[in-house]
Every structure is written in C-alpha cells, then in structure tokens.
Amino acid sequence: MEMTEIGKSVRRLDYETKVTGRAQYLADMSVPGMCHGKILRSPYPHARLKHIDASKALKVPGVMAVLTRDDILHDEGIEPFYGPVFKDQTIVAVEKVRHVGDPVAAVVALTIDAAEEAIRLIDVEYEELPAVLDVHQALKPGAILVHESIKLPSSGFADLAELKPVEGTNVCTHFRLNRGDIDKGFAEADHIFEDTFTLPATQHSFLETHACIASVEPGGRITVWATTQNPFVVRTQLANIFKVPVSKVRVIVPYLGGGYGGKVYPKVEPITVALAQKAGRPVRVVLSREEVFYTITKHAAVIRMKTGVKNDGTLIARECEIHLDTGAYAEIGPRVAKKSGYTAAGPYRIPNLKIDSYSVYTNKPPAGAFRGFGVSQSAWAVESQMDIIAAALKMDPLELRKQNGYDEGDKFVTEETLRAVGLKECLDEVAKSIGWETKVQGLKGSRVEGSGETNVKRGKGLACMIKATITPSISCAVVKLNEDASLSIYTGTVEMGQGSETVLAQIAGKELGLPLQTIQVLGVDTDVVPYDLTTSSSRSTFHMGKAVQLAAQDVLRQLKQIVMKEYGVPEDKVTFADGKIRLPETQLDYAEVMFKRFGMQGGTLVGEGQVKTSVKDEYGEKSTSAFWFVAAGAAEVEVDSETGQIKLCKYATAVDVGKALNPLGCRQQLSGAAITGIGQAMFEEIAYDNGQLINPNLVDYVLPSLGDMPSVIDPVCIEIPHRNGPFGAKGIGESALIPVAPAIANAIFDAVGVRIKDLPIKAEKIFLALEEAKARPLI
Amino acid sequence: MKSFENIDVKSVKEAVGLLQRFHNEKKSAAVVGGGSELLQLMKDRVATPDYLINLKTIPGLSYIKEERSAFRIGALTTLTEIEEHKGVQEKLLFLSQAAGEAASPQIRNAGTIGGNICQRPFCWYFRSANFTCLRKGGEICYAVAGDNRYHAIFGGGPSYIVHPSDMAPPLVAVGAQLKIAGPAGEKVIPLEKFFVLPQVNHTRENILGPGEIVTEIQVPHPKAGTKGFYHKVRERLAWDHAIVSVSTVLQTQGGAVREGRVVLGGVAPTPWRVPKAEQFLRGKKVDENTAQKAGEIALEGARPMKDNIYKVALAKSLIQRALLASV
C-alpha cells in the first residue's frame, strides 16, 4: 500500500460508492414503523390565517395526525418561534402566511398518497393581504409590514450582535461601514462613476431535495436523519424548539446530495420532528423540487455603487447601497448583508468608504446562504464597475485591478492586516490562460473577429474577488488508532460532494504515515462525532483539516509516550517516519507498540484536535476572517451582434488555495464552482408574478446543460501557504464562483460594446442593449 | 397525483370505443403513449383522468414505412426512432434533426410522435396549480398582464400560449398529413389543419374530438430540387423549448424558388406558417437581400407582448439564415 501524500492527486474515496449508485441518500432510507409526511403550503404571498379545519383530512384512511398552529401554540413542550438570527419563523404559520409556499399545516399518513389526499382536504380560510413584492416596495414609507414584530433570541451569533431589525419597517438589518472621509474622497476624485446593478433570486439546485426522517422516543429523545450542512446547529435549534438538552437530540447525516449553502440551518427538520411527536411514529418528509423553491433561495439584490477615481486610475472613494431581498424570514440574511457590505470595496484599497448594506423583508420565499455568501452579489457590482471605469479612463482592466488590488500586508476595510493573499498571482494566471495580450490589442481597434459568421464578435473579460470565512468558529476532531494500526476519523464535516472525506483522510494519513486504504472517515452522527460549527463558508479543509492534523499529532504523542515507557527510550531518540517509530537500534510499527501497551491485540488510542478561531488573531490583531479567499476568473466569449446569442468559448479560474492537498480535487471543485457561476451569470432566475413563483421546476427554471459549457474550463491553483492551515491549505469551495458573472459581462462588453447590469445575461438583453445603442446618436 | 385506472387496449377500435363510452358517461379519460407528457400533467394535476387508455399495448402502431411517395410513421414511433431512421435521414434530414433536438435523450426514447404533436402548452401559468387560467377553464390568460417573455407574438388572444412541439413546424413545412381514427372511422387531414387557434377554441390546441386518436403521420417525399432546414434557438442547448424555431422547405429550379414553405415554432399557439413570405419568395433567387426581405415580410403583423419583443427580431434573423441555408 502506498504512503499517503500531500499535493499529489488522489481519486476521491467515495468514488466507487457514488458512481455505482450504492451511496445511501436520505430519501433512500426508511426506519421501522415509518410514516410519511406532507406539507400544506400557502397559495398566497401574504394572508391572515382565519380558520383551519382539518376534520375532513383526518377521516382519510391511513392518516395518523394533522399538525396545525394549535399544536405548536398550545404545547408547553414546544417553543413555536425559531430562526438562526431572529426568531421570526414558526413550524407552521401562526397568524399570517408570509410567502407562497409558507407551511400552513402538515399531515402524517401511512402512505404518501393518503398524506397527499389529506392535505387537499384541509380547509383553510385566508384573508388576503396586500403583499410586499420587492425591496423598493418594502422600503417605501408606510409600506405594508411583513412582520409586525420580531422576537430576538436570548443569545445569538457574536458577529451579528449589533444587527437588529428596524422597528416599524421592513428593514431586517442594516449594516454600516464607514472609513476615511467620504465627502473629501469624492472631492479629490477626478471622475465619479455611478451605476446600479441588479441580480435575481436563484436556486442552489442541488440534486437531492431537502428531506428528513424524525423519530421521537417516549421521554422526548429525538433522532433525526437530516440533509443538513450543519448538524450541530440543527441539533441546537431542535433542542431549543422542543425544549430538551442537546444530548437528547441526535442528528445523523448520510451523504449529502449537494448543499451550496441551501442546507444550512433548520429547514424541514422542525416540522418533521413535530409530526413524529404528534403521530407517535417515525416520519419521513421528502420535499419536491417545487417545495425546495419555497424553502430557500439566493438573495436577489439591488446595488447602487458610486466610485470616485483619480486620473491615474487610483480608487479614492466609494459610496455603496446594497439592498438584499431576504424574503419572508431573516434566516441567515443578516450575515449575508454584512458580508456583502464588507466586500463592497472589492479586493481594492479604497481609503474613503460609506457602505450601507440592508437585508429587507418581502413576501417571497426566504433567501439565505448561497455559495459565495453575499460576495457574489457585491462582486457583480464591484467587478462590473471596474471595467466601466477602465473603459472610461482607457486603461487596461487588468492593470487597473492590479494597481488598486490588495498586496500582502495591506489593511482590509476592517483595518486588519491581510496575509497570504495571492490576488495578483490569480489575476495574472487567468489573464495568461485566455491570452489577454491579444485582447489589449483588441482595445486598440483590431478586435479579434469571430470565426465563421462575420456578425460574430469575440471578447475577453476578467474579474476577481476577496471573501472571508466565518469567524469565530469551532471544529473538533477525534481520530482512533485501532489495534491493527488502521485509523478511524470522527468529524462533523458533511461530505456533500466537495471531497472532504478524501482530504481529511489525506491529512491524517500524511501526519501518521498511514496508507489511505487503512483510513476510514466516519459518517456524521452528533451522538458520536465531536462538535463542528458547520460545513460551509469554505471552512472544512482549513478548520477541520487542522483539527484532524492535531488529533493525529495527539496520537503520535501518545505513541511516543508508550515507547518511552515500554522500551525505556529517551524522548529525543524517538522519531516517526513512514508509519514507523524509529529508535536508535530498531524500528517499530504502530501495531507492535499497541500490542506492547495493551498486552494483547486490542485497545484504542484516541487522539483529539480542536480548532477555535476568534475575533483576534494570534498577533492580537482584529480578525474578521481566519483566512482570506482570493480568486480571479476570465472569460472569452463570442457574441452574435445581430441576435445577441452568446457562446462562452473558454473560462479560466484561478484561486489561491494555500496548498493544494489533493490537486485533482481542487481543480474539480474550482471547475464545479465555475459551472455554477456560469448558470448564475447566463441562465438562472426565479421568475415571480405578484409574489407567485412561476417557474418553480427545472423545466422552466433554466439550469445550463453540458452543451452550454465552454469547451475549456481551465482551473488553476495558486499556492500561497497560510500559516494556520493544514500544510498551508486554505478553503476553496466558493471562491471560483464569484468572479464568473462579471468576467462574462466584461467579455461581452469587450465583444460588442454593451454593458449588461442585470443578471442573468441572456441573448435578449444583449439584443435590446444593442438596439438601444444603435438608436443612440453617436457622440 | 390522483388515482386512476389503467386499461391496456389491444386495438385502435377498442381505444376509440372506450374513449367514446367514457365521454358519454361523463368520466374523464386520457390516452397514453410514451407517457412523458401525460405523466407530468397528472403530477401537476393539470390532467386528472379517471382512466388511462394505454395505447402501447396495441400491436403495430410503431413503425416507419418508406413507401413510393411518402413515409408513413405510426403514432407510437418514438422521436429517437425518427431521428435515427436511415431513410428519414437521407430524404428528410431536417426532420431527423428536429426530432434529435426535442427534449432530452430519455424523453426522446419514450416520447412518441403522436404525443409530441398533441402536447399541451408549457406556459408557466397553465402548468401551475396556483393559476386557474383561461385554458384550464378559468377567466383570464395570466400571460396578458404577467410575465410573457415566452408567449405568442402571432395568433394570440384570448389565450397567448405557444405550441411546444418541435416536430409540428417541420412536419407542416413538408406538408405532412395526419391519420385520425374516431367513432366515424378513419380520416386523413393535412397536419396544418389539425391545430386550432385560441380564437376558435381556447381550451384545446387541436381538433381532436371525443373518441378520436392520432394513428399515423404521412410525410411526402420531397420533390426534386427541394431542400429543408430546421433551426431551433433556445436558452439552453438541451431539454428546452424553442424561443423561436424555423423550418423551411424550398424547392428551387434554375436558382429560383418554385415553391416553398416557411414555418415558425415557438411564436404562436399553432405552428405558424408565413404565407406572405412564401409568396414573396416564389420565382425569386434567394440571396442576402431576398432572405432579409422575406424575414421582414414574415414578421409583418407580429404583435409582440411587453416581454417578448425579442422573438420578432430573432425570428426575422432566423428566417433569413434558414433561407440562405436552404438553397
């Protein structure tokens, strides 16, 4: 068996299980005695619940129980209000429904058919209310309120403590960032640019829809099998809702069929537990694709950005207002707004800033975390405007970025020092990949003609970004060295396709000198694995990877102690290499040492590792992020100047990964993020008609197909090691997605000279912009 | 999905008899071929039949017979079979291409030609449970005031759906005939006459009456000097309906058009022929200018809605390109 290496590509450990279809996902599972749950959802965006009558539903053969507001309001064992930031959600609607698809009631039955039939027989009397349909309407003085009052939790996230709903308005939170002197900054500017950019709500589009199996034992012990990215957060929330200690809640997570932020915080778990409790039977709820559209979305945004620039291209001042449509419930919207605000200056030194970022309630399905977490919104504006500035100043967009971009040791907008930020390396790599030089010639007038038809124009564009990871946070890991020197790894990191199993095994294998084949990464079960905050924010390799590394080192330390004691060797004479313990005269393998320690073949050595990041780093300096992601992307497009049809020819993405532990895995993840980004940039949009979703299915909601992908996606790993990451590694899950949309918009501008400020960029928008440009008199 | 009873029938006659019986008894029944369309309608509760009449158990309804002057294609022939048929590829390549660009490979393997031309609209209001639209027996066509980016620019009113079939426009362009079995026996009609505009009937897309079933499509072999072309523009390259598709079949002689048909898809509640453009082309040599002019003539009278003006420009451009590629 080969020794585990770092920096050498390995095939993912779950490869065979998944490609042969043997991996178990939640919807494949059942437990003895299990019933089926279905949810009745609101057909209105905003209505008062006047009356609910479930008597007909209860008569359907096979129906075990119907859950309505009466069950959650009059049960002392249930705290009806919950939510990760504000307690504005309820298991089923209480006084009002606030969006189409808001759960109103739910049924448990022996069969899915009976549950479906019963749902249709629940009589609900609504009093329709005027609905708040977008952020403009929500912010008007005297607007209809989505929430008349909002319950705050007794304790919440430290990083969101200062953010509160603005009473009597639909403002969920308002994050402010001020730096320098904004008026002075604009006064010193030679040019001022002001633009408004918009982007729509979209879907995460994971293959696996949300699902849950819940079982409640007499005495209140709750077990849930959940499709969640953060089992420990779900555990806490369920413990709060059902008023039990966390030890009485067990959350088990099978392989997750994709998450992308859409499976953080409670989703379908509270209602499933309530159903199981009421029915006295285990219950499974599997959401349909349409229901996923009602459960969570990405924030739509309107971003007004005003930037002051000197003649030489130096960015000197920026005022920015970001309005994020958080839908009917806050979910994690307040943090999304905060992260959007933090990155409204982009990866650039801008001394004078006035940033106002709002999460705003509307009568739409809740928006929450989405791969890129607020930065894919802000970067759309930042990076589009960079090219607007470059064009106006007749500068090379690459040079403009490099001139203003962060260098090692620069201060971020929070005044903390940036370390390990390979921004310019990323920019140079993507520029090289798409042949940027020929584009600069293009600017001088010799635009590259598209092959084939003469009305096809070719263009190139790029974009970059900086993003934080959730800080402070905690990851704990346990590894067990078994008597045969094989290793079991216990972590709360959820394998959702990102390859965490493989990379965690690599880290432990490298540290202990064990072959990958001898290592097993266990599935997530909160009864078994130690605490981890979340599998999101691109944090697992950095945090959990480090925790696993520390746990492995803990085992080495114990082995050393045993050897010192049992073989009487002084500490400085014990060394480790390739899975062996080297002594002056001889070498021992782990199994021998274990045998010596326990006197027979048996026993376990348990190693533990803990990583905790804080709002201050090890230098005592403020730390908004335990590490910073930087990335760049570049696109080459062909645009039909007659019809606006776009062909994405090539996309290059470069990410500072710190250290590529599994280069193949890194490249796959970068490509995957780029592909998601292409969907967001050119295809996807949830369409609404007066608060009704009109495309809540994958026929009408257009995800790109393989044929729409560029023939080349070039993922490049830049390696600027981070001092605190395992072997220097940083997180990479989100980075590559963020620059995609502006890079494509910039390439389209380069090709045909029209600027699209509203995502997604479809042929129709380009066509209309071209028509408008034709109609405009030439200056 | 509502519960239903499935009835496997052995002959067209039996199917017709059952349909008629259920109609007389005021019970709802639907015929099912490949099922790819009906199943989704049932899941969405747009269709809630009490009885499914399964045509797949009828022997001999799936075939492509190449006869002296025409192909005869059985209604249960799958789109994949049409796409891959050597004779069709040889004589009617554009029809094979159209079949290959419909839906997805899985759907083409199951979906039949009969079902394809009998599809219900893919209008997002029609398919949504939260809208009881005109076509479902309601009062209004929500597309009028709503989001109508995918709706009709021709032939709309009072309903503004577009016909979703990828096969119908090229079949109309080539002059296909349709064989329909019904209580009164069999009849053969031009496919063009099969579809109805909403001003005639806004709850149906075709003329099929109670007890009637499409059994065969007859596609004439093109005359000498004929060239066909099919092009479909959509938002994504697989499994997507046309924003606009164009099918042209032109017969030229000595460089000039003798006769030809130009049929648009995705723009109207039926496959949309543009007779004025066809007339204009007659006797003319197709070049950049005539092609452009034909495109302009074809789109005269288009009535775009607030969100679909793009279809007009796209259709013009596509006609121009199709004509240039057809000679």
Asked whether the beta carbons of residue B237 and residue A708 sit closer than 8 angstroms, the reply is yes
Residue A513: pLDDT above 90?
A: yes
Residue A456 tokens read as: 């096809």
Q: Which amino acid is at A139?
A: L
**Residue-averaged pLDDT of chain B:** 96
Q: How confident is the model at residue A778 (pLDDT cuts 50, 70, 90)?
A: low
Q: Dihedral of the CA atoms A89, A94, A95, A96 (nearest 10)?
A: 60
Q: Which of A104, A647, A700 is the best mutation test for B, with the most CBs of B within 10 A?
A: A700
Place of tokens 């909403």: B198
Are the CB atoms for B134 and B158 separated by under 8 Å?
yes
Closest partner CB to A689 (pick from B146, B235, B236): B146
Give contacts of A644 with chain B, Cβ < 8 Å. 310
> Residue A446: its pLDDT value, please?
33
Alpha-carbon distance B59 to B14, whole Å? Answer: 12
| Tens digits of residue pLDDT in B152-172 | 999 999 999 999 999 999 999
Alpha-carbon distance values, A10 to A3, A554, B89 (Å): 12, 25, 45
Alpha-carbon distance A697 to B216, whole Å? Answer: 33
Give contacts of B127 with chain A, Cβ < 8 Å. 697, 700
Cis peptide leading into B158, omega within 30 of 0?
yes
Residue A455: pLDDT above 90?
A: no
Residue window 230-259, chain B: list those with CB within 8 Å of chain A.
233, 235-240
Under CATH, to which class is B226-325 assigned? alpha beta
Q: Could you tell me if the ipTM is greater than 0.85? A: yes
| Tens digits of residue pLDDT in B85-132 | 999 999 999 999 999 999 999 999 999 999 999 999 999 999 999 999
Q: Which residues are CB-contacts of B256 (< 8 A; sequence separation ≥ 6)?
A: B283, B284, B285
Q: Nearest CA to CA, how far is B151 from chain A (Å)? A: 13
Asked whether the beta carbons of residue B147 and residue A771 sit closer than 8 angstroms, the reply is no
> Residue A10: its pLDDT value, please?
96
Give contacts of B233 with chain A, Cβ < 8 Å. 643, 645
DSSP track, A131-189: ---SHHHHHSTTPPPS-S--BPPSS--GGGTT----TTSSEEEEEEEEES-HHHHHHH-
Residue A448: pLDDT above 50?
A: no
Per DSSP, B156 falls in state -
Alpha-carbon distance A119 to A100, whole Å? Answer: 16
Q: Of A432-446, A520-534, A632-646, A671-685, which gets the smallest average pLDDT? A: A432-446
Alpha-carbon distance A200 to A297, whole Å? Answer: 10
Asked whether the beta carbons of residue A100 and residue B130 sit closer than 8 angstroms, the reply is yes
Given CB atoms, is A645 within the 8 Å cutoff of chain B? Answer: yes
**Residue-averaged pLDDT of chain A:** 95
Alpha-carbon distance B294 to B280, whole Å? Answer: 7
Under CATH, to which class is B1-59 assigned? alpha beta
Ranges of CATH 3.30.43.10 domains, chain B: 1-59
DSSP track, A403-443: HHB--TTPBPTTSPBP-S--HHHHHHHHHHHTTHHHHHHHH
| Tens digits of residue pLDDT in A181-224 | 999 999 999 999 999 999 999 999 999 999 999 999 998 999 99
> Residue A417: its pLDDT value, please?
95
Instruction: Mark out the alpha helices in B150-219 (DSSP H runs).
Output: 168-173
Q: Nearest CA to CA, how far is A767 from chain B (Å)? A: 7
Domains and CATH numbers, chain A: 15-22+473-613 (3.30.365.10), 31-129+205-295 (3.90.1170.50), 137-203+297-377 (3.30.365.10), 420-461+629-775 (3.30.365.10)
Number of A/B CB contacts below 8 angstroms equals: 64
Residue window 199-238, chain A: list those with CB within 8 Å of chain B.
none
Please choose, from the candidates A634, A637, A666, the residue with its C-alpha nearest in 3D space to the C-alpha of residue A653: A634
**Residues above pLDDT 90, as percent of chain B:** 97
Given CB atoms, is A415 within the 8 Å cutoff of chain B? Answer: no
> Residue A444: its pLDDT value, please?
34
Are the CB atoms for A699 and A668 separated by under 8 Å?
no
> Residue B201: its pLDDT value, please?
97
Residue B5: pLDDT above 90?
A: yes
Residue A449: pLDDT above 70?
A: no
Give contacts of A771 with chain B, Cβ < 8 Å. 313
Given CB atoms, is A592 within the 8 Å cutoff of chain B? Answer: no
Residue window 696-735, chain A: list those with CB within 8 Å of chain B.
696-697, 699-700, 702-708
**Residues above pLDDT 70, as percent of chain B:** 100
Are the CB atoms for B165 and B119 separated by under 8 Å?
yes
Are the CB atoms for A43 and A290 separated by under 8 Å?
no
Please choose, from the candidates A452, A486, A460, A491, the residue with its C-alpha nearest in 3D space to the C-alpha of residue A475: A491
Report the DSSP beta bridge partners of residue A524. A253
Report the DSSP beta bridge partners of residue B249. B228, B261
**Rg, C-alpha atoms of chain A:** 27
DSSP track, A554-595: HHHHHHHHHHHHHH---GGG-EEETTEEE-SS-EEEHHHHHH
Given CB atoms, is A177 within the 8 Å cutoff of chain B? Answer: no
Q: How confident is the model at residue A453 (pLDDT cuts 50, 70, 90)?
A: low
Name the packing angle between helices A375-392 and A397-404 (round to 10°): 120
Helix (H) or strand (E) holding A717: strand A712-718
Give the residue-averaged pLDDT of A17-32: 96
Residue A719 tokens read as: 């390696």
Q: Nearest CA to CA, how far is B235 from chain A (Å)? A: 7
CA A228 to chain centroid, in Å, comes to 12
Q: Which residue of B has its CA nearest to A112?
A: B1
> Residue A517: its pLDDT value, please?
95
Q: Which residues are CB-contacts of A162 (< 8 A; sequence separation ≥ 6)?
A: none
Residue A779: pLDDT above 60?
A: no
> Residue B210: its pLDDT value, please?
93
> Residue A157: its pLDDT value, please?
83
> Residue A515: its pLDDT value, please?
97
Ranges of CATH 3.30.390.50 domains, chain B: 226-325
**Residues above pLDDT 70, as percent of chain A:** 98
Are the CB atoms for A291 and A37 separated by under 8 Å?
no
Closest partner CB to B237 (pick from A697, A700, A705): A705
> Residue A450: its pLDDT value, please?
42
Are the CB atoms for A738 and A466 separated by under 8 Å?
no
| Beta-strand relationship, A487-490 and A519-521 | parallel
Please calculate the CA angle A675-A681-A683 and round it to the nearest 5 degrees: 85
Neighbours of A319 (CB within 10 A): 21
Report the DSSP beta bridge partners of residue A359. A173, A324
Alpha-carbon distance A687 to A677, whole Å? Answer: 19
Asked whether the beta carbons of residue A643 and residue B313 sit closer than 8 angstroms, the reply is yes
Alpha-carbon distance B7 to B55, whole Å? Answer: 9
